[in-house]
Amino acid sequence: MRRLRAEDGYTLVELLIVMVLMAIVLGALTTLWVSGSNTELRLNRQFQAQQVGRLALDRIRTDIHCANAAQAQTLGAYPGVKLAFPSGGCSSSTVSWCAVPSTAMTGRYALWRSTATSNICTASDASRLFVADYLTTSSGAFSTPALVNNGLETVSVDFRISASPNANADVYELKDAIVVRNSTRCPSSGSCATVTVP
């Protein structure tokens, strides 16, 4: 009995010290876990936005290579590029690509492809097809530089993509000058006419 009474237990102070140390360790582990989860979510969103952007660039590259004329223009209220195809070509007579304000994120733009001849890329355009999202700007997304002597027409594409709520963070830029392969070559002498796509 004397030996049982002599056994000392933990004091309240010792228990409190152990609990405080456990809280510090668990708090640090929880912070690391939350930080890792947020980073993984951000990277996944960023990767998906980049992947969609690359697929959109491949898709527009196919259309531009197939076209015989291209012209960057405002389609409705949206900046875009209109492509004309030769008869019996890859697509219908014209295809339009537009950068329209996104419904997924405020201050972002979505990329649409349309085969309509009127109301292009609007809600009433039944032919429009959603291609990509999270473009940070619509200005400068499409341009058709002046023709050079003995050269084919080109379309410059500049997609700046970010899935981050901050438009200037984690921006991924896809930039290319794509040749309109079926266009008429500009003569080596004289002036080159600017193409107008109806």
Domain assignment of residue 26, given as a range: 12-179
Long-range contacts of 161-164 (CB under 8 A, 24+ apart): 161/49, 161/50, 161/52, 161/53, 161/132, 161/134, 161/135, 161/136, 162/46, 162/49, 162/134, 162/136, 163/42, 163/45, 163/46, 163/48, 163/49, 163/105, 163/134, 164/42, 164/45, 164/46
- What pLDDT is recorded for position 1? 65
CB 123 within 8 A of CB 146: no
Divide the 198 residues of the chain into consecutive groups of 10 and give the mean pLDDT of each group: 66 90 95 92 86 92 89 86 77 84 86 88 87 88 84 90 79 90 76 66
- What pLDDT is recorded for position 111? 93
In a domain? residue 185: no
In a domain? residue 193: no
In a domain? residue 21: yes
In a domain? residue 61: yes
Q: Label residue 16 exposed, middle or buried (CB < 10 Å: 0-12, 13-18, 19+).
A: exposed
In a domain? residue 4: no
**Which ranges in the chain belong to alpha helices (H)?**
2-6, 12-66
- What pLDDT is recorded for position 104? 80
H or E segment to which residue 156 belongs? strand 154-161
As for how many domains the chain has, the answer is 1
In a domain? residue 128: yes
- What pLDDT is recorded for position 18? 93
- What pLDDT is recorded for position 130? 92
- What pLDDT is recorded for position 190? 60
In a domain? residue 191: no
In a domain? residue 3: no
pTM of the model as a whole: 0.76
